Chain A
């Protein structure tokens, strides 16, 4: 396996599938059918291929692995470098897993221009995987921006009534954020003399320069993550996007922000990250409390989940900038958990929407009686979202809060209120949809989950529960990388004289892996 460029293969396989779909000609119905099956096969094969990344990956090695390097544009010092480390590998797999699920979820839901839809979805997959595996900053940027094109079309062509506004808002927010990042990349290139991210991670950028670079990167990733107050595009994009679009958006695209924050802000700009720590905490806590309250007031169920995403990502940004083992560990876990939980919740909403074509909670009620299977699946993901012990959501939120409590009790306390609020709005949603009298005739007529729907929920349910019961299975892969990142971080802060060499932060006092503790309680 060593000679096969497995990362490039995973990245570009979906694109090959998209080209095949492009070539499909014939009657409209046949084209739609063939496009769907080609998309499904391509994405499933991509997923299988991507599993080889996991088998070829050595978790004990904290550096970049499976590296591929080819000179590309020597005139600009740009190379084609790919590689994964513990941080990025799970996101690659998440992308490859969610794409076939999205194809299945759109099987009947997408009726017009199926061929183009599947092409957009596969191109999106390529861009996402490419972005997570890129180790050259220009390549990273190309894929980062490349995600915009298919997503813009997914929202704009197949979205809801207000799709044009949502698509614009999504595009312009993310674009302005990322062009600032481009300037920062250029400035870093001119200082470090290379575009190789592996070199930049270790390059000590001057302190005053770090501040500006950090801000540029932070704006780009804060829009993507999204961090309050740059989150306003998200509810619109989610509400208007088709189910598959929402799933990819919540499942993987938001993680691009979190990944970027770890990779660029924390790893490359440690001093500025230390400097801005409190700002990020403030914004994260504002996100957790404010968006939870906003979610509580929604009558549109998709919007509610969208706001809950912002709140959950608040834990992520908080955990990342806690800069200790628990915080970063928890942030990673929370991101992974959110990937599957929010994707599943959007799929759940898609199930109801496909049957009744409305997202108003008031239109539903009492579904627990006629759709028991659906109610069970929804309940599992709702509990995972709330953070019930035994589900993946608990581990992530618990660890991030543990990390934040070490930094400041106040921050920890304030962020804990998010848990209560989260439970409040999710239970409210569940009650309105599933309990009460089953009296609306169109709700009565709804059928329970079909075999196809069960097929795409089953792996997600399994993952969410495995992550909750045995979190080490996921953590072991990224723990050495997280440890190395934190060690590097502390070292560069010490070198800069920002923290005293003799007095390590509380984070370093606890050396055992704390992540297994909450799991053992279950």
Chain B
């Protein structure tokens, strides 16, 4: 038993852990003004991690006595997380400098959070799940209140921390119930134990675990923190929150439900269906009243998680594939939107009302067009990528006979059109009140890249992403 564990499957994570320590050291020794250097090094280490990930061993590998698993499902999600984190760091640098909070800890914290995400995606045991999740969450709590002199930011951090701790508690409680009734925490052993059905205790435990994870992806009814945290946190942090942690948490969610609790699908499908339907509706209705674009995006993300969960609630391989495709598209759309939001400045001052975008099509036609493309895509209007995401999750849902959920989903997407259109209306129909400043070149590149991806490049890349997601989903189901 005391053999040295095989490190090869976990090499990317080990590298990133070492790299973040090194980055911290560089930051400490270089002192103030090292934000740029540390940021670019962080991005470089993300890229290196991604490279290691692609070079990693093929197939499914379990190591650390079954605590850690690497498979193509994890690899797909990890690549998405690394892309999202890299873009978040790239977009943050200018913002932090302009807001005068240019401290080197920021990229290091993002690196640590990313490490946590990679670990949780690879979790193969309730214990390693919790460790990864907490590493991620603690780093996120800190950067939520990164503008420590601003009341809103600290409030956001505190709120996130208190509610996050509560959800972690729920998750731990659920995990302990599962352990108590099933006698193991390992996913593989749980799957074997639960094959012949489960006691009520395990089911209750599973629901608690699901509740804890639902909090992390801000699915209704555990969504209350999202708008406040999105609004209060510095915009660059919101841009990060909106994508990478969501991708990580939802892949973890899938892994837990499909892996160890795969045989309890009858039980968890009901929970997920409810969460999906409620998230879509609350996401659509909640955003209608919002004037702040960050709050609007918070509700939008709640809605989008609902759509992604539609795919999961089908409980099939195609459904999981749909969720992965959805998250890949969600990443591109949100990074693009937040790159635009980060560029919203009037004479150097950051603004974040929808009304501040008024007349953007006259002052910055390309930026406005890109934002319009993102909005069409978020609304799911073809031929933008968002439509194909919805396609990928609704198809398995209908295949599984979830007609009511699908109808709720499309009605909600019709309602949600209203507020996406409001952004377009501000940009195209209204007259300029105060023009926005020129966006920085980096933001411009990210916006242009994301917009091109959403439409029309995605149509070309549809096949590679689809086949990647299909392989990932097959790996997850094949392991059962």
B25 at the interface (CB under 8 A from A): no
Given contacts A149-B381, A183-B407, contact A164 B429 (CB under 8 A): yes
A12 contacts chain B at the CB level, 8 A cutoff: no
Chain B, residue nearest A144 (CB): B382
* Minimum CB distance partner of A116 in chain B: B361
B418 near A172: Cβ-Cβ < 8 Å: yes
B→A interface (CB under 8 Å): 376, 379-383, 387, 391, 394-395, 398-399, 403, 406-407, 410-411, 413-415, 417-418, 421, 424-425, 428-429, 459, 462-463, 466-467, 470
B21 to chain A, nearest CB (A): 42
Residue numbers in B under 8 Å from A74 (CB-CB): 463
A179 touches B425 (CB 8 A): no
A172 touches B428 (CB 8 A): no
The reply to whether the CB of A163 lies closer than 8 angstroms to some CB of chain B is yes
Identify whether the interface residues of B are mostly helix, strand, loop, or mixed. Answer: helix
5 further A-B pairs in the complex, CB-CB below 8 A; given A75-B467, A145-B381, A182-B391: A76-B466, A142-B382, A171-B421, A179-B411, A186-B394
Q: Which residues from chain A contact B413 at a C-beta distance below 8 Å?
A: 175, 179
Q: How close is A181's CB to chain B, nearest CB, in angstroms?
A: 9
A32: shortest Cβ distance to chain B, in Å? Answer: 15
Q: For the complex formed, measure the closest distance between the CB of A119 and the CB atoms of chain B, giving whole angstroms.
A: 11
Distance between Cα atoms of A268 and B466 in the complex (Å): 30
A164–B430 Cα distance when bound, in Å, is 10
Q: Are A156 and B381 in contact (CB under 8 A)?
A: no
Say yes or no: is A285 at the interface (Cβ < 8 Å to chain B).
Answer: no
For A159, give the chain B residue with the smallest CB separation.
B429
Q: Which residues of A lie under 8 Å from residue B417 when comparing CB positions?
A: 171-172, 175
**B466 shortest CB reach to chain A, Å:** 4
Min C-beta distance of B371 to chain A, whole Å:
14
Given A153-B428, A157-B428: A176 touches B410 (CB 8 Å cut-off): yes
Q: Provide 17 A-B residue pairs closer than 8 Å at the C-beta atoms, listed in order of the A residue.
A: A74-B463, A75-B463, A75-B467, A75-B470, A142-B387, A145-B382, A152-B424, A168-B421, A172-B414, A176-B411, A179-B410, A180-B410, A183-B406, A183-B407, A183-B410, A186-B395, A187-B403
Instruction: Compute how far the CA of A152 lies from the CA of B379 in the bound complex, rounded to whole angstroms.
Output: 14
Report the Cα distance A189→B398, complex, angstroms: 10
B462:A175 contact, CB within 8 angstroms: no
Measured in the bound complex, the distance between the Cα atoms of B424 and A156 in whole Å is 10
What are the 3 closest A-B residue pairs judged by CB atoms, nearest first?
A176-B414, A179-B410, A75-B466
Which of B410, B425, B463, B470 contacts A182, CB < 8 Å? B410
Identity of the chain B residue whose Cβ is nearest the Cβ of A186 in the assembled complex: B398
Q: In this assembly, does A401 line the interface, its C-beta being within 8 Å of a C-beta of chain B?
A: no
Q: Choose one: A146, A164, A179, A187; the contact of B414 (CB below 8 Å).
A: A179
**A residues at B contact (CB < 8 Å):** 73-76, 141-142, 145-146, 148-149, 152-153, 156-157, 163-164, 167-168, 171-172, 175-176, 179-180, 182-183, 186-187, 189-190, 212
Instruction: State the CA gap A168–B424 with chains docked (Å).
Output: 11
Residues of B within 8 A of A172 (CB): 414-415, 417-418, 421
Q: Is the CB of B425 within 8 A of A164?
A: yes
Q: Which residues of B contact A167 (CB under 8 A)?
A: 421, 425, 429
Measured between C-beta atoms, what is the minimum distance from A234 to chain B in Å?
18
Q: Tell me the complex Cα distance, A146–B459, Å.
A: 15
| Contact between chains at A182 and B381 (CB < 8 Å) | no
C-alpha spacing A75/B459, complex, angstroms: 12
Distance from B145 Cβ to chain A, minimum over Cβ atoms (Å)? 38
A10 to B407, CA, bound (A): 36
Instruction: From B406, B410, B418, name the one whose CB has the most chain A CB atoms within 10 angstroms.
Output: B410
- The smallest beta-carbon distance between A56 and chain B, in angstroms, is 28
Complex CA gap A186/B429 in Å reads: 35
Contacts of A189 in B (CB 8 A): 395
Whether A156 lies near B395 (C-beta < 8 A) is no
Residue in B387, B399, B424 whose beta carbon sits within 8 Å of that of A190 in the complex? B399
B429 touches A156 (CB 8 A): yes
> Within 8 Å CB of B425, what residues of A?
156, 164, 167-168
Other-chain contact of A148, B381, B395, B467, B470 (Cβ < 8 Å)? B381
Contact B421 A152 (CB under 8 A): yes
User: How far apart sit A76 and B463, CA to CA, in the bound complex (Å)?
Assistant: 9
B376 and A149 within 8 A (CB):
yes
Residue of A nearest to B425 (CB): A164
Q: Inside 8 A of B380's CB, which chain A residues have their CB?
A: 179
B-side contacts of A179, CB under 8 Å: 380, 410-411, 413-414
